[in-house]
Structure 1
Amino acid sequence: MNELTRRHFVGATAGFAGAVTIGSLGAPPASAAARETAWTGHRSANGWEVLPEARNFPIEGSDQSLHLAEGDAATILLYVARRFHYEIDQLREGDVRGHRTSRRIRERHESNYLSGTAVEIRPQAYPLGVKGGFYPPEMIVIRDILAELDGVLAWGGDFTTPKESHFEIAYKPGHPKVKGAARKIEGWNTGPGNEGAGSTDAFDPERQSRATSFALRSAATRAS
């Protein structure tokens, strides 16, 4: 956890998290393993091509790395991993995983690992079927990331069968919102360093207000 988050952690209120209830802790459903099937498609659930292998990218600011689809997907998902590392907790060995080749999945969204367009961060701590694993200040950071990327990123904690360790590209390849989000992040990466991962204050009241509004709109869309 970086100094920015540490300053806010104790004083942060649960009001924001309460606006988008994340449920309570519990054991994963006994049927989770029984649902395991083999993904047979040439594309993952989000429309990206299944890859036989993927390039390994370092996660800036940490000593960890991720195998991901090259291009916009890698730019976006590496940004998510960096913000988790800087603002929620330090990434350690075994904490983060991207592309894989095993086609065994339990939920459709897990097929997105096959295309290198999804990551899981601490899946043992935040397993399939469990909600409420993050503290309210940590949820503020997650909601800020989702709002900042304007729907390009989907979080498994919002799924019908939750998996809070899961983050994925929500749109098909070539979608203008994906390209726009990647360009924005690349601009931060090459800029003076006063924007993006490592400099964002998710606890700024204006950012919290925007993130709350975005979360409520997204929840209403999913419910419709």
Structure 2
Amino acid sequence: MTTPPSRRSILRRATFLTAGAAVGSSLLATSAHAAAHPQSAAPTQALDTPHPHTLTGIRSSNGWEMEKIANDHGTIYTRPVPGTPLEGVAVRMGDVETVLVHLIRRFHYEIEELRRGDVIGWRSPETVQRDSPESNQASGTAVQIRPDHHPAGARGAFFPWQLLVVRDILAEIDGVVRWGGDDRRPNESLFSIDVTPGDVRLTQVSDRLRLWQNIPGRGAGSPVDVTAAPRRDTARALELRQRKAV
């Protein structure tokens, strides 16, 4: 008696077959987890006024304030990533969390299954270069996905069909996230919020993602054709814009 395939297996197979039609027969191929005070329960929503002891007064490269600690009366808490085996990822609560968690989930479903420890969110300001994109992790506005497999400074760790999905995800969230693979010194594991605090685009995207959570067939885990002409055109246009912004 055979076991019926899981929903995730079906989704991954559908994504591979769709992307494979466009790219041919491509082969498949720490720092801190935020836990400064793991016993501190996360608030139910983002704090408008974080406790002064969490703040640094220093902004990361994307314009958000770095925080000294996570999980302790600031804006950065370890948040769940539904549908994955991850124990959580430390990110800035609210709109940033919604967008980055969506990205991580699509990566897990469509690019490569993630395991515990594969995603690093917040990092202490003392552990990042403050004038580089990795500083965004210290503000809770960036994540590294499988940094051991995508080392900083190296290019080409993704297969072509995987890159199609990366570009599709970035386009789906309207370019409010930047991929480190497009930076002058590449970091293909890094995904950072690419708008400053208060930018209405971030709110618009997060509102849409939250709405999708209640609509069958939408959101992370839903089959999409990443080779469809309208999606590819949008993804290519965004890629050109973000590459020029280096």
Distance 2:16 2:163 in 1: 14
Of residues 115, 121, 124, the one that matches 1:92 is 115
Amino acid at match of 1:128: A
Amino acid at match of 1:173: P
Of residues 45, 56, 59, the one that matches 2:81 is 59
Matched, 1:42 2:58: yes
Number of residues of Structure 1 aligned to a counterpart in Structure 2 = 196
Cα pair 1:103 1:111 within 8 Å, conserved: no
Distance 1:6 1:143 in 2: 15
1:41 Cα shift? 5.5
Distance 2:233 2:175 in 1: 16
Give the root-mean-square deviation of aligned CA atoms. 1.9
Q: What is the match of residue 170 of structure 1?
A: 194
Distance 1:212 1:48 in 2: 27
Matched, 1:12 2:22: yes
Q: What percent identity do the matched residue pairs reach?
A: 39
Amino acid at match of 2:183: F
1:182 Cα shift? 0.8
Q: What is the match of residue 49 of structure 2?
A: none
1:62 Cα shift? 0.6
How do 1:127-166 and structure 2 match up within 5 A? 127-166=151-190
Amino acid at match of 1:121: I
Of residues 85, 88, 91, the one that matches 1:68 is 91
Distance 1:203 1:83 in 2: 16
Distance 2:226 2:21 in 1: 13
Of residues 188, 200, 204, the one that matches 1:180 is 204
Distance 1:176 1:102 in 2: 27
1:112 Cα shift? 0.8
Amino acid at match of 2:98: T
Structure 1: runs of 5 or more not aligned = 15-39
Distance 1:188 1:154 in 2: 22
Larger RCO, structures 1/2 (Cα 8 Å, 6+ apart):
1
Q: What is the match of residue 120 of structure 1?
A: 144
Show CA shifts across 1:58-112 (max 9, x none): 1111120201111111001001100100100111122111012252224611111
Distance 1:193 1:151, change over 3 A: same
Select the structure of larger CA radius of gyration: 2
